[in-house]
Structure 1
Protein backbone atom coordinates (compact mmCIF):
# COMPACT_ATOMS: atom_id res chain seq x y z
CA UNK A 1 0.00 0.00 0.00
CA UNK A 2 2.74 2.48 0.95
CA UNK A 3 4.76 1.60 -2.17
CA UNK A 4 1.70 2.17 -4.36
CA UNK A 5 1.00 5.54 -2.72
CA UNK A 6 4.63 6.61 -3.11
CA UNK A 7 4.58 5.67 -6.80
CA UNK A 8 1.34 7.58 -7.29
CA UNK A 9 2.80 10.69 -5.62
CA UNK A 10 5.95 10.57 -7.80
CA UNK A 11 3.75 10.26 -10.89
CA UNK A 12 1.53 13.17 -9.86
CA UNK A 13 4.59 15.31 -9.18
CA UNK A 14 6.19 14.35 -12.52
CA UNK A 15 2.95 15.09 -14.38
CA UNK A 16 2.62 18.46 -12.66
CA UNK A 17 6.17 19.37 -13.68
CA UNK A 18 5.50 18.33 -17.28
CA UNK A 19 2.36 20.47 -17.23
CA UNK A 20 4.32 23.48 -15.93
CA UNK A 21 6.95 22.83 -18.60
CA UNK A 22 4.23 22.88 -21.25
CA UNK A 23 2.93 26.18 -19.89
CA UNK A 24 6.52 27.46 -20.00
CA UNK A 25 6.74 26.52 -23.67
CA UNK A 26 3.90 28.97 -24.36
CA UNK A 27 4.66 31.74 -21.86
CA UNK A 28 8.01 33.45 -22.44
CA UNK A 29 8.48 34.39 -18.78
CA UNK A 30 8.23 30.81 -17.51
CA UNK A 31 11.13 28.45 -18.31
CA UNK A 32 10.49 25.04 -19.83
CA UNK A 33 13.66 23.01 -19.33
CA UNK A 34 13.99 23.38 -15.51
CA UNK A 35 10.50 21.94 -15.07
CA UNK A 36 11.32 19.10 -17.44
CA UNK A 37 14.54 18.41 -15.52
CA UNK A 38 12.50 18.00 -12.34
CA UNK A 39 9.87 15.96 -14.20
CA UNK A 40 12.53 13.55 -15.49
CA UNK A 41 13.99 13.27 -11.98
CA UNK A 42 10.58 12.53 -10.45
CA UNK A 43 9.67 10.15 -13.27
CA UNK A 44 12.89 8.19 -12.66
CA UNK A 45 11.48 7.36 -9.23
CA UNK A 46 7.99 6.31 -10.21
CA UNK A 47 7.30 6.48 -13.94
CA UNK A 48 10.14 5.02 -16.03
CA UNK A 49 8.21 5.22 -19.30
CA UNK A 50 7.68 8.98 -18.87
CA UNK A 51 11.36 9.41 -18.05
CA UNK A 52 12.28 7.55 -21.25
CA UNK A 53 9.93 9.75 -23.29
CA UNK A 54 11.41 12.91 -21.80
CA UNK A 55 14.97 11.74 -22.47
CA UNK A 56 14.05 10.80 -26.05
CA UNK A 57 12.36 14.14 -26.78
CA UNK A 58 14.08 15.67 -29.83
CA UNK A 59 14.21 19.23 -28.48
CA UNK A 60 14.40 18.92 -24.69
CA UNK A 61 15.93 15.45 -24.25
CA UNK A 62 19.51 16.59 -25.01
CA UNK A 63 19.25 19.38 -22.40
CA UNK A 64 18.11 16.89 -19.77
CA UNK A 65 20.91 14.48 -20.65
CA UNK A 66 23.58 17.21 -20.58
CA UNK A 67 22.35 18.33 -17.17
CA UNK A 68 22.44 14.78 -15.83
CA UNK A 69 25.87 14.02 -17.26
CA UNK A 70 27.74 17.27 -16.59
CA UNK A 71 25.37 19.74 -14.96
CA UNK A 72 25.72 21.79 -18.15
CA UNK A 73 23.60 24.87 -18.91
CA UNK A 74 23.64 26.47 -22.39
CA UNK A 75 25.09 29.98 -22.55
CA UNK A 76 21.87 31.30 -24.10
CA UNK A 77 19.91 30.04 -21.08
CA UNK A 78 22.42 31.67 -18.72
CA UNK A 79 22.00 35.03 -20.46
CA UNK A 80 18.22 34.78 -20.58
CA UNK A 81 18.00 33.82 -16.90
CA UNK A 82 20.35 36.59 -15.85
CA UNK A 83 18.42 39.20 -17.84
CA UNK A 84 15.11 38.03 -16.39
CA UNK A 85 16.52 38.21 -12.86
CA UNK A 86 17.82 41.72 -13.56
CA UNK A 87 14.41 42.77 -14.90
CA UNK A 88 12.70 41.26 -11.84
CA UNK A 89 15.06 43.03 -9.46
CA UNK A 90 14.51 46.32 -11.29
CA UNK A 91 10.72 46.02 -11.08
CA UNK A 92 11.01 45.04 -7.43
CA UNK A 93 13.13 48.13 -6.72
CA UNK A 94 10.37 50.32 -8.18
CA UNK A 95 7.63 48.57 -6.22
CA UNK A 96 6.21 49.29 -2.77
CA UNK A 97 7.66 46.08 -1.32
CA UNK A 98 9.32 46.27 2.10
CA UNK A 99 13.01 47.18 2.14
CA UNK A 100 14.06 43.72 3.33
CA UNK A 101 12.39 42.22 0.24
CA UNK A 102 13.99 44.81 -2.04
CA UNK A 103 17.39 43.81 -0.67
CA UNK A 104 16.89 40.10 0.01
CA UNK A 105 15.33 39.02 -3.27
CA UNK A 106 17.99 40.63 -5.51
CA UNK A 107 20.72 39.22 -3.24
CA UNK A 108 19.23 35.73 -3.70
CA UNK A 109 18.94 36.28 -7.46
CA UNK A 110 22.56 37.42 -7.60
CA UNK A 111 23.70 34.27 -5.79
CA UNK A 112 21.68 32.13 -8.22
CA UNK A 113 23.24 34.00 -11.16
CA UNK A 114 26.74 33.39 -9.82
CA UNK A 115 25.96 29.69 -9.36
CA UNK A 116 24.45 29.51 -12.84
CA UNK A 117 27.43 31.12 -14.56
CA UNK A 118 29.79 28.71 -12.79
CA UNK A 119 28.01 25.72 -14.40
CA UNK A 120 29.69 24.11 -17.43
CA UNK A 121 28.34 25.00 -20.86
CA UNK A 122 27.37 22.79 -23.77
Structure 2
Protein backbone atom coordinates (compact mmCIF):
# COMPACT_ATOMS: atom_id res chain seq x y z
CA UNK A 1 0.00 0.00 0.00
CA UNK A 2 1.15 3.48 -0.75
CA UNK A 3 1.64 6.07 1.93
CA UNK A 4 -1.32 8.08 0.57
CA UNK A 5 -3.60 5.03 0.81
CA UNK A 6 -2.59 4.40 4.41
CA UNK A 7 -3.24 8.07 5.27
CA UNK A 8 -6.66 7.82 3.64
CA UNK A 9 -7.48 4.72 5.70
CA UNK A 10 -6.49 6.52 8.91
CA UNK A 11 -8.54 9.55 7.84
CA UNK A 12 -11.59 7.35 7.25
CA UNK A 13 -11.12 5.68 10.64
CA UNK A 14 -10.95 9.14 12.22
CA UNK A 15 -14.04 10.41 10.43
CA UNK A 16 -16.08 7.29 11.21
CA UNK A 17 -14.98 7.38 14.86
CA UNK A 18 -15.87 11.06 15.09
CA UNK A 19 -19.29 10.31 13.63
CA UNK A 20 -19.84 7.49 16.13
CA UNK A 21 -18.72 9.80 18.93
CA UNK A 22 -21.25 12.41 17.84
CA UNK A 23 -24.00 9.77 17.80
CA UNK A 24 -22.85 8.68 21.26
CA UNK A 25 -23.33 12.20 22.55
CA UNK A 26 -27.06 11.78 21.95
CA UNK A 27 -27.55 8.08 22.76
CA UNK A 28 -27.06 7.22 26.42
CA UNK A 29 -25.97 3.61 25.82
CA UNK A 30 -23.25 4.53 23.31
CA UNK A 31 -19.97 6.09 24.47
CA UNK A 32 -18.60 9.33 23.07
CA UNK A 33 -15.08 9.90 24.35
CA UNK A 34 -13.66 6.42 23.52
CA UNK A 35 -14.63 6.95 19.88
CA UNK A 36 -13.08 10.41 19.96
CA UNK A 37 -9.87 8.95 21.40
CA UNK A 38 -9.71 6.57 18.43
CA UNK A 39 -10.45 9.49 16.09
CA UNK A 40 -7.68 11.56 17.67
CA UNK A 41 -5.23 8.68 17.20
CA UNK A 42 -6.25 8.20 13.57
CA UNK A 43 -6.12 11.92 12.81
CA UNK A 44 -2.63 12.11 14.32
CA UNK A 45 -1.56 9.79 11.49
CA UNK A 46 -3.60 11.37 8.72
CA UNK A 47 -4.65 15.00 9.22
CA UNK A 48 -2.95 17.58 11.41
CA UNK A 49 -5.91 19.91 10.81
CA UNK A 50 -8.54 17.45 12.09
CA UNK A 51 -6.25 16.37 14.94
CA UNK A 52 -5.80 19.96 16.11
CA UNK A 53 -9.53 20.67 15.77
CA UNK A 54 -10.44 17.69 17.96
CA UNK A 55 -7.56 18.15 20.41
CA UNK A 56 -8.56 21.75 21.05
CA UNK A 57 -12.33 21.24 20.86
CA UNK A 58 -14.20 23.43 23.36
CA UNK A 59 -16.11 20.54 24.95
CA UNK A 60 -14.10 17.38 24.31
CA UNK A 61 -10.60 18.83 24.06
CA UNK A 62 -9.89 18.91 27.81
CA UNK A 63 -10.97 15.27 28.24
CA UNK A 64 -8.90 14.18 25.26
CA UNK A 65 -5.85 16.14 26.40
CA UNK A 66 -6.08 14.67 29.92
CA UNK A 67 -6.26 11.18 28.42
CA UNK A 68 -3.40 11.89 26.02
CA UNK A 69 -1.09 13.39 28.61
CA UNK A 70 -1.94 11.54 31.82
CA UNK A 71 -4.31 8.64 30.94
CA UNK A 72 -6.90 10.28 33.20
CA UNK A 73 -10.55 9.24 33.14
CA UNK A 74 -12.68 11.52 35.32
CA UNK A 75 -14.67 9.88 38.10
CA UNK A 76 -17.97 10.92 36.52
CA UNK A 77 -16.86 9.22 33.28
CA UNK A 78 -16.04 6.00 35.08
CA UNK A 79 -19.38 6.01 36.89
CA UNK A 80 -21.33 6.84 33.73
CA UNK A 81 -19.55 4.11 31.73
CA UNK A 82 -20.14 1.45 34.38
CA UNK A 83 -23.80 2.41 34.83
CA UNK A 84 -24.33 2.45 31.06
CA UNK A 85 -22.72 -0.99 30.67
CA UNK A 86 -24.77 -2.46 33.51
CA UNK A 87 -27.93 -0.85 32.15
CA UNK A 88 -27.24 -2.09 28.64
CA UNK A 89 -26.68 -5.63 29.88
CA UNK A 90 -29.84 -5.48 31.99
CA UNK A 91 -31.97 -4.16 29.13
CA UNK A 92 -30.55 -6.80 26.81
CA UNK A 93 -31.30 -9.57 29.31
CA UNK A 94 -34.86 -8.41 29.99
CA UNK A 95 -36.08 -7.40 26.55
CA UNK A 96 -34.07 -9.53 24.12
CA UNK A 97 -33.55 -12.69 26.18
CA UNK A 98 -30.30 -13.84 24.52
CA UNK A 99 -28.73 -17.19 25.39
CA UNK A 100 -27.17 -17.35 28.84
CA UNK A 101 -23.68 -17.96 27.43
CA UNK A 102 -24.02 -14.69 25.48
CA UNK A 103 -25.01 -12.72 28.58
CA UNK A 104 -22.20 -14.25 30.62
CA UNK A 105 -19.64 -13.52 27.90
CA UNK A 106 -20.84 -9.96 27.51
CA UNK A 107 -20.82 -9.50 31.29
CA UNK A 108 -17.22 -10.75 31.51
CA UNK A 109 -16.11 -8.32 28.79
CA UNK A 110 -17.93 -5.47 30.52
CA UNK A 111 -16.33 -6.37 33.86
CA UNK A 112 -12.90 -6.32 32.20
CA UNK A 113 -13.63 -2.90 30.68
CA UNK A 114 -14.91 -1.61 34.05
CA UNK A 115 -11.75 -2.89 35.78
CA UNK A 116 -9.61 -1.10 33.19
CA UNK A 117 -11.55 2.14 33.63
CA UNK A 118 -11.37 1.97 37.42
CA UNK A 119 -7.62 1.28 37.28
CA UNK A 120 -6.95 4.64 35.59
CA UNK A 121 -6.45 7.81 37.64
CA UNK A 122 -9.42 10.14 38.07
CA UNK A 123 -7.39 13.34 38.37
CA UNK A 124 -4.31 14.84 36.78
CA UNK A 125 -1.16 14.43 38.84
CA UNK A 126 -0.42 17.31 41.17
CA UNK A 127 2.02 19.71 39.61
CA UNK A 128 4.96 20.61 41.84
CA UNK A 129 4.99 24.25 42.81
CA UNK A 130 7.70 26.28 41.17
CA UNK A 131 10.28 27.74 43.51
CA UNK A 132 11.01 31.41 43.34
Q: In terms of Rg, which structure is larger? A: 2
Structure 1 CA distance for aligned equivalents of residues 12 and 99 of structure 2: 36
1:83 CA displacement: 0.7
Aligned to 1:64: 64
1:29 CA displacement: 2.2
Structure 2 CA distance for aligned equivalents of residues 19 and 120 of structure 1: 27
Alignment check: 8 A CA contact 2:43 2:50 kept? yes
Aligned residues: 122
Q: Closer, same or farther in 2 for the Cα pair 1:19/1:92, shift >3 Å?
A: closer
State whether structure 2 residue 107 is matched by structure 1 residue 106. Answer: yes
Q: Closer, same or farther in 2 for the Cα pair 1:10/1:67, shift >3 Å?
A: same
* Residues 59-102 of structure 1, C-alpha deviations (whole Å, 9 max, x = no match): 10111111111111011111111111111222344343122112
The more displaced of 107-116 and 91-100 is: 91-100
TM-score, normalised to structure 2, is 0.85
Structure 2 CA distance for aligned equivalents of residues 14 and 57 of structure 1: 15
1:121 CA displacement: 0.8
Aligned to 2:116: 115
Structure 2 CA distance for aligned equivalents of residues 24 and 99 of structure 1: 27
Structure 2 CA distance for aligned equivalents of residues 27 and 98 of structure 1: 25
What secondary structure is seen at the aligned counterpart in 2 of 1:46? Answer: coil
* Structure 1: unaligned runs, 5 residues or longer: none
* Structure 2: unaligned runs, 5 residues or longer: 124-132
RMSD, aligned CA? 1.4
Aligned to 2:75: 75
TM-score, normalised to structure 1, is 0.91
